[in-house]
Amino acid sequence: MADTQRTPDAYEELNDLRMSEGARPLYEHVKKFIAETVQPMSEEFHRLGENNKDIWSYAPGQLECLEKAKDEAKKQGLWNFFLPDAETGEGLSNLDYAYIAAELGKNSLASETMNCSAPDTGNMEVLERVGTPAQKEQWLKPLLEGKIRSAFAMTEPGMASSDAKNVSMSAVLEGDEWVLNGDKYYISGAGDPRCKIMIVMCKTNNGDDVNRQQSQILVPLPYKGVTILGPMHVFGEPDAPHGHMHIRFENVRVPKENMLLGEGRGFEISQLRLGPGRIHHCMRSIGSAEKALDLMCVRGLAREAFGRPLAKLGGNTEIISRARIEIEAMRMMVLKAAKAMDVLGNKEARVWISMVKAMVPERVCLIIDQAIQIHGATGVSQWTPLARMYASQRTLRLADGPDEVHHMVVGRSELRKYEGGVEDPALAAIWRK
Amino acid sequence: MADTQRTPDAYEELNDLRMSEGARPLYEHVKKFIAETVQPMSEEFHRLGENNKDIWSYAPGQLECLEKAKDEAKKQGLWNFFLPDAETGEGLSNLDYAYIAAELGKNSLASETMNCSAPDTGNMEVLERVGTPAQKEQWLKPLLEGKIRSAFAMTEPGMASSDAKNVSMSAVLEGDEWVLNGDKYYISGAGDPRCKIMIVMCKTNNGDDVNRQQSQILVPLPYKGVTILGPMHVFGEPDAPHGHMHIRFENVRVPKENMLLGEGRGFEISQLRLGPGRIHHCMRSIGSAEKALDLMCVRGLAREAFGRPLAKLGGNTEIISRARIEIEAMRMMVLKAAKAMDVLGNKEARVWISMVKAMVPERVCLIIDQAIQIHGATGVSQWTPLARMYASQRTLRLADGPDEVHHMVVGRSELRKYEGGVEDPALAAIWRK
Amino acid sequence: MADTQRTPDAYEELNDLRMSEGARPLYEHVKKFIAETVQPMSEEFHRLGENNKDIWSYAPGQLECLEKAKDEAKKQGLWNFFLPDAETGEGLSNLDYAYIAAELGKNSLASETMNCSAPDTGNMEVLERVGTPAQKEQWLKPLLEGKIRSAFAMTEPGMASSDAKNVSMSAVLEGDEWVLNGDKYYISGAGDPRCKIMIVMCKTNNGDDVNRQQSQILVPLPYKGVTILGPMHVFGEPDAPHGHMHIRFENVRVPKENMLLGEGRGFEISQLRLGPGRIHHCMRSIGSAEKALDLMCVRGLAREAFGRPLAKLGGNTEIISRARIEIEAMRMMVLKAAKAMDVLGNKEARVWISMVKAMVPERVCLIIDQAIQIHGATGVSQWTPLARMYASQRTLRLADGPDEVHHMVVGRSELRKYEGGVEDPALAAIWRK
Amino acid sequence: MADTQRTPDAYEELNDLRMSEGARPLYEHVKKFIAETVQPMSEEFHRLGENNKDIWSYAPGQLECLEKAKDEAKKQGLWNFFLPDAETGEGLSNLDYAYIAAELGKNSLASETMNCSAPDTGNMEVLERVGTPAQKEQWLKPLLEGKIRSAFAMTEPGMASSDAKNVSMSAVLEGDEWVLNGDKYYISGAGDPRCKIMIVMCKTNNGDDVNRQQSQILVPLPYKGVTILGPMHVFGEPDAPHGHMHIRFENVRVPKENMLLGEGRGFEISQLRLGPGRIHHCMRSIGSAEKALDLMCVRGLAREAFGRPLAKLGGNTEIISRARIEIEAMRMMVLKAAKAMDVLGNKEARVWISMVKAMVPERVCLIIDQAIQIHGATGVSQWTPLARMYASQRTLRLADGPDEVHHMVVGRSELRKYEGGVEDPALAAIWRK
């Protein structure tokens, strides 16, 4: 990579992918807490929800059960540790967080229990960095306390959001209010009855500088003019009650003060948010891949056909080997991208982030798909988590920039090294041919 | 292939993949009927079902709407034409049916409207071939008239059904009754309130000949001792009200006469059924792939990013090209397998059937996946049929023998040609090295 | 495909892929001749050449041996049958020729023995169609008689020839002579001492119409100003004495009459040539794939490791199955493209030709690669034909338009169907979302 | 991986992939030496060899030119540093060597110039570890001084060497002599006139313990009874004068003292050798992949078609991105396997070695293949190193255990974790279904 332009010391440091001494106790604590508290709680939680009539609410007892575990987490100090370099939180490095996030990826309620779940994490980070004292008091505080939840409204149904500049939702300043009009969809978490605040990406300016046309504005929920049209499904799943909502904004008026950072600075805030967020997803994806491989091995040994366990029939042992190799390679890449963010900053680490975002969800999808195949029909059913895991990883290939955009970032960065002309005489000799 | 052992004439005939003159009017009629009757009916049907509270029933008006279209089909003579070489039905060849089935594959209600939908087709074919006059009167007649629906209970949750001999559900003769005990799952169609009869695969005999241990027995629905435990999901979808049900049989007693063909002949009946059935699925898969490619092109031209339509960005034009090439190759293979069944019979055509079954759903999954990618998040949502199409094709890779089993059939058949020793002197010379 | 715009009759005819009654005796005759005459001759031919010091000549006895077989072919009437619809030759349809070419593809000397080898076939076809009587007398006659051989000089070392308009070799009319200057490379066959004539693609005109800037000119060999700089290798192989030569043209003066068809009509002649030529290669590729699969099976059964034949270890049986499936799919596609050329003409069949050219060599490479893997180190050695077969198929992915260009042709043709706007209301509904 | 059984400390240490402080000066020195000395020397070397008549000798001046560079390397202290933990050599860790080897992989003469080239490295390591003082004096000393070269005779033409126990060459003790009979092939380096000693793998014992039937015996070259039958080609390349020779042993009598370590300990010596050797190859493969990507970018920017540089046409930018991602992932995996050898020892690191050996050459082949594609016909020619690089990496997929065997090692190791039964209750719950 562009590493060659850096000092050898920074280059070397990038390859030290060890967890810090300081983080290890937290890491071990989190693993223990997941095993002892989250795992039994999540079994109870799902059991309580089994026959819930209104899927867009929590069944009686569910929230109590979750809150109890959250209280326990808070008590044990396992709370908000996602937040890097902050007064609040543990101030974990991205690298240390990567190790922990892989563990969080193995249980779907683990992140929330420790107040480390998306999209709240990104929203809290944004508010912590760019929020005014009043905004912090009103929204960041209850978020940090786990009292409310939040959403981030970016994607629009009528636009190719692979191009981040494609935003059509308008926000016009009328007097002391911003007036918002437009549709957003795939607003994850907006179905949750506890979701009280959204950050909404808007187009505020039609000026020439395409990097200054967007703004991010706070919109409470529920709110006048804001209509939830319905949930977007993901491979047939509404993911209720969290939900990925389709929301219409009709003359939604919010006070001028709800603007974050300043008009035209929406793109700037996104940059802040997207680095860590993309990596957090990929860290959890490693956990997901590990789980899929676990299930593949267990099922492959437990079931027999033609007189042998499935895991030893045909190409299955090689499939297991390839899954293990991919997981180890992905793990190292995720750790390295996290380290690059720590050492070089989010901006310089951008190519590493794109490499990981383009690499990981695509390959994890394949591993889950192979785990499905070895399970037979049970693999696509609700009896294993595999179909839902697949849907989630498949969707990740579309979210926060589709694979194609990240490959474009990486490919162009590679070509840029050469665009000043070729200097290596050996290469130059070939070039002339 | 083993073609070399056949007469040149049969070999040649296999490559005449034209629809017969006689079938063309029916083919054109079906296309017209789908466009003019099924298409508007299915829009109405889905609209009526939109807010149905009990997903395991039909909403008011839905069945009337469907029945009206069925009556129209019957009136126009578009009825039961799936049934080959039969007194009833059109007596279409497999090849001619392949052309028509590709059209049926483009609308999810088309098959049922013309009484050509699975699993009824396979069940009717079995009853027509091996049913007693009484069985025909009681079950085949109303099925042929579209008055009831049916199911086929084969797959079991506790067994690797890739090995067709893995059946544990027991049927024991006590006096004049067979007594059935065990679990079956993924019984497609058993959720439909109109489903009145199941064919159930049982183990009747623990003798030495593994090909004679299975029997197929008729079990009405609802029935004493038969409990529907719940629906199996497919990537989060219950496919209600059709459903893929999990059913428990506890001391289910049916009259001795409900045995099909005779004790120990279950495997034999399966052979009869599985050839055409597997091919029918693959024929419809071609239609599904065509639809995915249509959607990919339309979306790819309609959406712009970075100043160009998505279809012309990056590798997307090549992705479209590869999809077209795969579809044409798959189409020819499906037609050839159908022709092989016509010319050589189901048994000799077995390798062709396995080639197509191992080839088609896997590649159609990829095409649908690429169509999803070009749609962004909308691709996995309920706004396009793509996620549901994907779930359906993905499941097909597990049903009626997983890909691996079909590859085993094809690979072994290839190797069998050589196992008598090598005769070609050029090959022999290399072999010795 | 665009089939939908054609009459149903033409569409149907495309799917009749049977060899014609008339061609079958020739087909059987060719197979017999290869087995009885070419096979023993080629063993003798290679034995004679084994210790040849000057690889750019034929060893004593080699040409005699080859000529004897050619005489025999001529005597038996197996001569020039590649030439379609011509007074000379058999007037075979492209479809019939496809069957025969697959057989020719299994022995590297078979084509030449029956005067059906590239690039002579293309050159003869061009001369036959556009040559003047004098050109025919001087060059076509001895070519048709197998007395001389020829070459086609198109590709240039300094240009991306994926874009067919990239030609820099200049031809300027000075008085009664064309004066040629420039470099060509990969001129296949120009190393053969029997090669006496080249067709050279030149740039004659810098006018605005990019389709009228090229011309094709006859240049004898050897000739004043024409220097063979050396052979281009293909994966280390010079393919001597045939060779793929790098040739420099310095003030090469040929009579005005050596122009083919007329100034600026070079592109037009190429279109004539490239359709059948591309298909002939792909037909032979099927033969090559069959041979690779043969070798894979034979070796896989003959060698044991860990107590079982390699063919039954790990994923190898599935690899064999996939190879068989690919071969059958490719075969049908090649036959269909040949039929399309017969029924629709080269121009309308262009998308079919591109589909086959983009599909076949890439997949045959994979099959050969897997055959190599099962042979271990012997697979890359001179003891099997596999490495040479691989080099040849790999090169085909670059020749006559690289894969990428053919995918562009197919993808654009697919998109063109939609560019007038979308009419299907079901598609239109989705499009609006 | 099995990491979970180790102490957290060892696990953590595995992820510190930084080069040691001590090795950095050597690393920088090697890079400088390659640029300043090896690069110009290798241009001269290849120029001198261009018209060499006898490819199995060195052309006048070639060896002088090489020796001069070797002397310079020795003088600068860049000599034998491959040898780990030895009195001689630098005592580099495997991790430090991995960084340096990636640089060596970019120039085909770099390794030899610094006396770090295969198979001498493995042979020296074996002699250093298990040789008697007399063996060391006679063979190790001149090898360490770069005065002679050596070979390792393992693979046999008549055996599937994927199974390391497949050895048929017999060695029988007659009096004070071992008498060897049999064929070996692909003996790399045995064509070099400077090759004076071979280590030969033999079958000495037909007893029951399959791990004790093999021995390794020293055979000088030339020697009575040893006939070089000829060179084995690699994709048409004899790689002269180094060569991959086919050698026949007929009643070859060597003194009893030529046995290494002891009768029946051949397999044990192989284990010693194969770990580092396999990794050295893979380290150099990273360098090869980097070179291929360099060439891909340079060519892709320098050539235009359809008005744009090839690198920005169609899917090419994504191909470049995927190559960069794969290279970074492979690099981390190679470094981690090297570190595992350092921390855990060759035996425990075995799964990591197999992961890397199964992963790297296969993917580097793909990257080189794509570099070829973007070069057009020049890519397969002698004008770029790509075809030769491809041949070399392709062969690596067969050498030192084919991919399939390494996947078997990895897959079985993964399954072994579960074979004691499943403990995780969440997994167990699924298992029961």
Contact across the interface for C377 and D305, Cβ inside 8 Å? no
Measured at the CA of A158, the angle between CA A157 and CA A162, to 5 degrees, comes to 80
D422 pLDDT higher than 60:
no
Q: Is the CB of residue B433 less than 8 Å away from at least one CB of chain D?
A: yes
Q: What's the mean pLDDT when you consider all of chain B?
A: 89
Q: Which residue has the tokens 């099909």?
A: B260
Q: What is the pLDDT of residue A277?
A: 72
Range name among C81-90, D49-58, D267-276 with the lowest pLDDT average: C81-90
Contact across the interface for D294 and A321, Cβ inside 8 Å? no
- The chains found to touch C (3+ Cβ pairs under 8 angstroms) are A, B, D
Q: What is the pLDDT of residue D274?
A: 67
Q: What is the pLDDT of residue B210?
A: 80
Handedness of CA C387, C389, C392, C395 (dihedral sign): negative
Coil vs helix vs strand at D92? coil
A12 pLDDT higher than 90:
no
Domains detected in chain A: 2-144 (1.10.540.10), 149-260 (2.40.110.10), 267-416 (1.20.140.10)
Kindly report the pTM of this predicted structure. 0.94
CA nearest to C428 within chain B:
B298
- The tens digit of pLDDT for each residue in C216-258 reads 999 999 999 999 999 999 998 888 899 999 999 999 999 999 9
Is the bond into D119 cis (omega within 30 degrees of 0)? yes
Q: Is the CB of residue A311 less than 8 Å away from at least one CB of chain D?
A: yes
Q: Of all helices (H) and strands (E), which one includes residue A220?
A: strand A214-220
What is the distance, to the nearest Å, from the Cα of residue B423 to the centroid of all Cα atoms in its chain?
A: 40
Q: Of all helices (H) and strands (E), which one includes residue D227?
A: strand D226-231
Chain D residues whose CB is inside 8 A of the A317 CB are 407-408, 411-412, 415
Q: Which residue, among A44, A312, A415, A419, would best test binding to D if mutated, counting the most D CBs under 10 Å from its CB?
A: A415
Those residues with Cβ within 8 angstroms of residue D74's Cβ, 6 or more apart along the chain or in another chain: D146
- The tens digit of pLDDT for each residue in C191-216 reads 999 999 999 999 997 777 888 889 99
Residues 374-413 (D) with a CB less than 8 A from some CB of C: 376-383, 387-388, 390-391, 394-395, 397-399, 402-404, 407-408
Contact between C335 and C95 (Cβ < 8 Å): yes
Contact across the interface for B412 and C330, Cβ inside 8 Å? no
Residue C194 C-alpha, separation from nearest chain B C-alpha, in angstroms: 29
- The chains found to touch A (3+ Cβ pairs under 8 angstroms) are B, C, D
Residue D376 C-alpha, separation from nearest chain B C-alpha, in angstroms: 18
Contact across the interface for C333 and B332, Cβ inside 8 Å? yes
Contact across the interface for C433 and B378, Cβ inside 8 Å? yes
Residues 8-47 (D) with a CB less than 8 A from some CB of C: none
Cα radius of gyration rounded to whole Å, chain B:
23
Residue B255 C-alpha, separation from nearest chain D C-alpha, in angstroms: 31
Strands (E), C361-426: none
Q: Which residue, among A159, A244, A308, A381, would best test binding to B if mutated, counting the most B CBs under 10 Å from its CB?
A: A381
Coil vs helix vs strand at D402? coil
- B422 falls in which pLDDT band (50, 70, 90)? low
Contact across the interface for A321 and D15, Cβ inside 8 Å? no
What are phi and psi for residue D255, nearest 5 degrees? -60, 150
- For B314, the closest of D157, D315, D433 (CB atoms) is D315
Contact across the interface for B388 and A236, Cβ inside 8 Å? yes
Contact across the interface for B314 and A161, Cβ inside 8 Å? no
- For D318, the closest of B158, B314, B433 (CB atoms) is B314
Chain B residues whose CB is inside 8 A of the A236 CB are 233-237, 382, 387-388, 391
Contact across the interface for A373 and B306, Cβ inside 8 Å? no
CA nearest to D355 within chain A:
A325
Number of Cβ atoms within 10 Å of the Cβ of C290: 20
- The tens digit of pLDDT for each residue in A293-337 reads 999 999 999 999 988 999 999 999 999 999 999 999 999 999 999
A135 pLDDT higher than 70:
yes
CA nearest to A294 within chain D:
D427
Q: Give the mean pLDDT of D217-233.
A: 96
Of the two residues A82 and A168, the one the predictor is more confident about is A168
Q: Which residue, among A185, A186, A235, A394, would best test binding to B if mutated, counting the most B CBs under 10 Å from its CB?
A: A235
Q: Is the CB of residue B423 less than 8 Å away from at least one CB of chain C?
A: no
Q: Is the CB of residue B50 less than 8 Å away from at least one CB of chain D?
A: no
- The tens digit of pLDDT for each residue in A350-383 reads 999 999 999 999 999 999 999 999 999 999 999 9
Burial of B189 (0-12, 13-18, 19+ CB in 10 A): buried
Residue D318 C-alpha, separation from nearest chain B C-alpha, in angstroms: 7
- The tens digit of pLDDT for each residue in C321-365 reads 999 999 999 999 999 999 999 998 888 899 999 999 999 999 999
CA nearest to C311 within chain B:
B415
Q: Is the CB of residue C157 less than 8 Å away from at least one CB of chain A?
A: yes
Q: Give the mean pLDDT of D237-245.
A: 91
Tell me the C-alpha to C-alpha distance, in Å, between residue B332 and each of B17, B337, C14, D277: 8, 9, 11, 49
Chain C residues whose CB is inside 8 A of the B308 CB are none
Contact between D260 and D199 (Cβ < 8 Å): yes
- For B18, the closest of C1, C16, C409 (CB atoms) is C16
The phi-psi region of residue A279 (left if phi > 0; otherwise alpha if psi is between -120 and 50; otherwise beta) is: alpha
Exposure b/e, C112-131, CB count within 10 A at least 16 = b: bbbbbbbbbbbbbbbbbebb
Complex confidence, ipTM: 0.92
> What stretches of D228-265 show up as alpha helix (H) in DSSP?
none
Residues 234-293 (A) with a CB less than 8 A from some CB of D: 293
A249 pLDDT higher than 50:
yes
Q: Is the CB of residue A318 less than 8 Å away from at least one CB of chain C?
A: yes
Handedness of CA D159, D163, D164, D166 (dihedral sign): negative
Q: Is the CB of residue C153 less than 8 Å away from at least one CB of chain D?
A: no
Burial of C251 (0-12, 13-18, 19+ CB in 10 A): exposed
- The tens digit of pLDDT for each residue in B158-201 reads 888 777 788 899 999 999 999 999 999 999 999 999 999 999 99
Bridging pattern class, strands A244-255 and A304-305: unpaired
Q: Is the CB of residue C321 less than 8 Å away from at least one CB of chain A?
A: no
A152 pLDDT higher than 70:
yes
